[in-house]
Chain A
Amino acid sequence: MIPELGQFSLVLALLIAIAQSTLPIIGVTRENTIWINSAKYLALLQFFLVLIAFMALMRSYIVSDFTVTNVVNNSHSKKPLLYKIVGTWGNHEGSILLWVLILVSFGGALSLFGSNIPTRLRARVLSVQGWICVGFISFMLFTSNPFERTFPPPLNGNDLNPLLQDIGLAIHPPLLYVGYVGFSIVFSFAVAALMEGEVSSAWARWVRPWILIAWTSLSAGIALGAWWAYYELGWGGWWFWDPVENVSFMPWLVGTALLHSAIVTEKRGAFKAWTVLLAILTFSLSLLGTFIVRSGLLTSVHSFAVDPERGIYILILLAVSIGGSLLLFAYRAPSLESGGLFSPISRESGLLLNNLFLTTAAAIVLFGTLYPLFLEGITGEKISVGPPFFNISFTPIGLLLGSTMAIGPYLKWNRADLAGVLSRIKFLIFISLGVSLFVWYLKSSGPAFAIIGVGVSFWLFTSTFFEWMDRVRLFNKNYFNIFKRIKSQPRSANGMTIAHLGMSFIILGVVGSSAWKEEVISFVEKGSQLKVAGFLVTFEGVSIHQGPNYNSEKATLKVEKEGKFLENLYPERRLYLATGTSTTESAIRQSLAGDLYVTISEPANNKFKGKWVLRLIYEPLVNFIWLGASFLALGGIISITDRRYKIGRTFKYRRTKPINKVVGLDNF
């Protein structure tokens, strides 16, 4: 009964979405206030309907209702409760439902918290949002219905892929989707602005918090995915330039460009068409990602079950949304004034340069990912474009971006004094060069990019910190006021500093863990000892354990350094009973200097039966990646709370100042 309730709510949600996609926008042209205002309520109603559907599916998972096909295919009664809950979105149908839930949540959030936005613009935005909802809810109902029943119900389910039974992967999709889908609101804002034929500074200010929310989640989502790959896949890598990884990275790159170009639109009223284009492209790339992951167009290590029919449906959705919005862009954008004059050396130019790097990087990733498809289509030749291509082409851009973004915050709007800035921080350049040379001296074996990379990271860190220090007058005599001075900074400025520091950490972590990784692999028996990167690891045998839905063989490893006992590590081999697949659970000794990463497995060669294969990997500085990613997210969150954007302060604000009209906001 409850699955039917879920199904019914979805059908209702589709009808509401159809209403939401038409009524408000017609209302705007007909000047019908009731229709315009309906947007708000329709969006909220829609949110509750999809929430009911989502809860219904989650309930089916929790109680292991094996009359629902989706539950049968992806769950098992013995699966731990946590994985039953998160298993709701560990499959194609459920994840699309989560996708839609997040989509309508953004619509609902805009209804609740967007009261500073002119009602007509908001009605248009919600209508565009409604079109996307119609597309995806119908996609779900027609091609991937999560509530389909099966009869007779089997005694038990097929269980979730054990690799996915992991907390990292449980929260990775929701974050990633908040990122992907969050850009849908930004997209809707862009399309609505194009329909109105006007992009103003105020528009950029209204859309900014949504960009920040989406960007922050996407950053966190990607980092979490990388982290999951790192500890779960068992070879110590965290990024493979796999199509599925690439398609999440592209919206991030373009979204980051958007984040920066929108600042110029907000503060200077410039780059309007460009900002709107980036807003459209960011969401388009998110959609392209969804399409590639679910259509089986490209081969990837991790993708959903492949179904061409679904692929075609999403492709049609893509054609309508991307094609339509870009057509509208081509039609309307030429009439947006480009506005704003600035000298070639200015904050504006700096941000343009940032956009050049980021969009070039995105183009490289997009092109490299799709090139095998292009080539196969034209000549029939099949090739692979893998990590070497991306590393070679991406690294220079990344390093250039890293080194120029250190200077950006020093530049003033309109006209800046680059020579002055450089002379003020030239000592940092020298120190960074010195650091590079020192690393070269220490690690003469390292590749050139790594030696430069450490220098760039150091340069970015110090100059970002120095700029902030300057801004808050850290060494002003009045030490007691320091917190006041920090607090008096706009939140978004503090957020920027934190995010940029985060980037310097990420560069350091990426460079360190890819250039100076050490690895030892050996057969071991009880008492065997191995050495890696100064650690002495003793293999003390394997014991058998039983988990809720798996059997595990757990090794005990004693880790010592310079004769001192540090800790025991327990890597595992798990055999999941329902699917018959096994996974490696790595054990990691984490430290900022570097991770000691250990895994065990059975030898492939029967000759060595009875022994174990022990793999020790030393990953220097890898934790800086996760640290940096947390800084990115933290910077994003702090920026969201900036007063200018009034998120969450709407109600209070309204009470004190009943009519909140910033000049030029409401021209209706």
Chain B
Amino acid sequence: MRRFVFLVPLAFSLIIGTFSVWGLLNDRNPSEIPSALINRSIPKFNLSPLPGLRTPGFSRDNLLNLKKVSVINFFASWCLPCRAEHQSLIELSQNNEIVLAGINYKDINKDALDWLTELGNPYTYVGDDFSGRTGIDWGITGVPETFIVNRDGKVVHRFSGPLVGVKFKEFKELLTLELR
């Protein structure tokens, strides 16, 4: 019994060690926050279209009425990685089973228009979130960020960072699962 007491410090250090190994090996980003929206209905919002753009703006009700799987993408012209993922978005826009909606986050109107003219407009809807308030309602921590919303209007996945490479593949797999 007395001997056992002397093993206590070792036991504690083993526990800490185990968690440290897990924390290091398990490819994780300690500052990445899981979305609080997962498995919840999409938040309330109503965004006007970008002035000068023909694509309409949209609101929560729009999305709910569609009864389709939708992909909500936060983008901005000042965001470099957004440029990188744009090709992926164009690819997604070919898919008629989903609705791809963009939310232009804290962007200057003209810059956003130039951006869409230059790179092409993959979105069915584009909402103007100049104040960033809708971004907060969606709990985003930066741009680009992309959400998958299922047919019932529930947020099922959130991706932060550009949809390129392995991440885009993973994204498409999850999207296909939703579409089934």
Direct interface between A and B, CB < 8 A: yes
- Interface of A with B (CB < 8 Å)? 273, 277, 280-281, 284, 288, 291, 295-299, 308, 311-312, 315, 318-319, 322-323, 326-327, 329-330, 333-334, 370, 373-374, 376-377, 380, 382
Q: Which of B8-16, B76-84, B99-107 is the contact stretch?
A: B8-16
- CA–CA, A330 to B20, complex, Å? 22
Q: Are A299 and B6 in contact (CB under 8 A)?
A: no
Q: In angstroms, how far is the closest chain B Cβ from the Cβ of A372?
A: 8
Q: In angstroms, how far is the closest chain B Cβ from the Cβ of A55?
A: 34
The tally of CB-CB contacts under 8 A between chains A and B is: 66
CB contacts (< 8 Å) of B7 on chain A: these are: 330
Q: Which of B22-30, B48-56, B147-155 is the contact stretch?
A: B22-30
B21 within 8 A of A: yes
Q: In angstroms, how far is the closest chain A Cβ from the Cβ of B112?
A: 18
CB contacts (< 8 Å) of B9 on chain A: these are: 277, 280-281, 326, 329-330
Nearest 9 interchain pairs by C-beta: A326-B10, A299-B31, A330-B6, A330-B7, A299-B30, A311-B24, A333-B6, A297-B23, A326-B9
Q: Are A330 and B13 in contact (CB under 8 A)?
A: no
B44 within 8 A of A: no
Q: Are B13 and A323 in contact (CB under 8 A)?
A: yes
Q: In angstroms, how far is the closest chain A Cβ from the Cβ of B3?
A: 5
- CA–CA, A280 to B25, complex, Å? 27
Q: Are B3 and A373 in contact (CB under 8 A)?
A: no
Additional A-B contacts beyond A280-B9, A322-B13 (4; CB < 8 A): A318-B17, A327-B10, A330-B6, A374-B19
CB contacts (< 8 Å) of B22 on chain A: these are: 377
Q: In angstroms, how far is the closest chain B Cβ from the Cβ of A140?
A: 19
- CA–CA, A315 to B23, complex, Å? 11
Which single member of B2, B14, B19 contacts A370 (CB below 8 Å)?
Answer: B19
Q: Are B24 and A323 in contact (CB under 8 A)?
A: no
CB contacts (< 8 Å) of A374 on chain B: these are: 19
CB contacts (< 8 Å) of A380 on chain B: these are: 34
Q: Are A297 and B6 in contact (CB under 8 A)?
A: no
B33 within 8 A of A: yes
Q: List 27 A-B contacts (CB under 8 A).
A: A273-B6, A280-B9, A281-B9, A295-B24, A297-B23, A297-B24, A299-B30, A299-B31, A308-B24, A308-B25, A312-B25, A315-B20, A318-B17, A322-B13, A322-B17, A326-B13, A329-B9, A330-B3, A330-B9, A333-B6, A334-B6, A373-B19, A376-B23, A376-B28, A377-B19, A382-B33, A382-B34
CB contacts (< 8 Å) of A322 on chain B: these are: 13, 17
Q: Are B17 and A334 in contact (CB under 8 A)?
A: no
CB contacts (< 8 Å) of A288 on chain B: these are: 16
Q: Are A370 and B16 in contact (CB under 8 A)?
A: yes
- CA–CA, A382 to B13, complex, Å? 23
CB contacts (< 8 Å) of B2 on chain A: these are: 334
- CA–CA, A319 to B16, complex, Å? 10
CB contacts (< 8 Å) of B33 on chain A: these are: 382
Q: What DSSP secondary structure best describes chain B's contact surface?
A: helix
- What is the chain A residue whose CB lies nearest that of B33? A382
Beyond A326-B10, A330-B7, A382-B34, whether A312 also contacts B24 by CB under 8 A is: yes
Which single member of B6, B21, B23, B28 contacts A329 (CB below 8 Å)?
Answer: B6
CB contacts (< 8 Å) of B13 on chain A: these are: 284, 322-323, 326
Q: In angstroms, how far is the closest chain B Cβ from the Cβ of A274?
A: 11
- CA–CA, A277 to B9, complex, Å? 8
CB contacts (< 8 Å) of B25 on chain A: these are: 308, 312
- What is the chain A residue whose CB lies nearest that of B2? A334
CB contacts (< 8 Å) of A382 on chain B: these are: 33-34
Q: Are A373 and B23 in contact (CB under 8 A)?
A: yes
- CA–CA, A291 to B17, complex, Å? 11
Which of B2, B14, B16, B25 has the most chain A CB within a 10 Å cutoff? B16
- CA–CA, A385 to B9, complex, Å? 24
Q: In angstroms, how far is the closest chain B Cβ from the Cβ of A474?
A: 44
Q: In angstroms, how far is the closest chain A Cβ from the Cβ of B20?
A: 6
- CA–CA, A318 to B17, complex, Å? 9
- CA–CA, A374 to B19, complex, Å? 6
Q: Are B6 and A296 in contact (CB under 8 A)?
A: no
Q: Are B19 and A323 in contact (CB under 8 A)?
A: no
CB contacts (< 8 Å) of B6 on chain A: these are: 273, 329-330, 333-334
Beyond A277-B9, A319-B17, A323-B10, whether A377 also contacts B3 by CB under 8 A is: no
Beyond A319-B17, A333-B6, whether A377 also contacts B24 by CB under 8 A is: no
Q: Are B10 and A329 in contact (CB under 8 A)?
A: yes
- What is the chain B residue whose CB lies nearest that of A384? B33
Which single member of A295, A308, A315 contacts B17 (CB below 8 Å)?
Answer: A315
Q: Are A330 and B10 in contact (CB under 8 A)?
A: yes
- CA–CA, A299 to B33, complex, Å? 12
Q: Which of B31-47 contact A (CB under 8 A)?
A: 31, 33-34
Q: In angstroms, how far is the closest chain A Cβ from the Cβ of B130?
A: 13
- CA–CA, A311 to B13, complex, Å? 17
Beyond A323-B10, A330-B10, whether A296 also contacts B17 by CB under 8 A is: no
- What is the chain B residue whose CB lies nearest that of A332? B6
Q: Are B23 and A377 in contact (CB under 8 A)?
A: yes
Q: Are B21 and A315 in contact (CB under 8 A)?
A: yes
CB contacts (< 8 Å) of B17 on chain A: these are: 315, 318-319, 322-323
Q: In angstroms, how far is the closest chain A Cβ from the Cβ of B23?
A: 5
Which of A298, A312, A318, A326 has the most chain B CB within a 10 Å cutoff? A326
CB contacts (< 8 Å) of A296 on chain B: these are: 30
CB contacts (< 8 Å) of A318 on chain B: these are: 17, 20
- CA–CA, A323 to B14, complex, Å? 8
- What is the chain A residue whose CB lies nearest that of B30? A299
Q: In angstroms, how far is the closest chain A Cβ from the Cβ of B91?
A: 31
Beyond A323-B17, A370-B19, whether A298 also contacts B30 by CB under 8 A is: yes
- CA–CA, A377 to B6, complex, Å? 27
Q: In angstroms, how far is the closest chain A Cβ from the Cβ of B6?
A: 4
- What is the chain B residue whose CB lies nearest that of A288? B16
Q: In angstroms, how far is the closest chain B Cβ from the Cβ of A93?
A: 20
CB contacts (< 8 Å) of A273 on chain B: these are: 6
Q: Are A315 and B3 in contact (CB under 8 A)?
A: no
CB contacts (< 8 Å) of A329 on chain B: these are: 6, 9-10
Q: In angstroms, how far is the closest chain B Cβ from the Cβ of A318?
A: 7
- What is the chain B residue whose CB lies nearest that of A277? B9
Which of A319, A329, A377, A380 has the most chain B CB within a 10 Å cutoff? A377
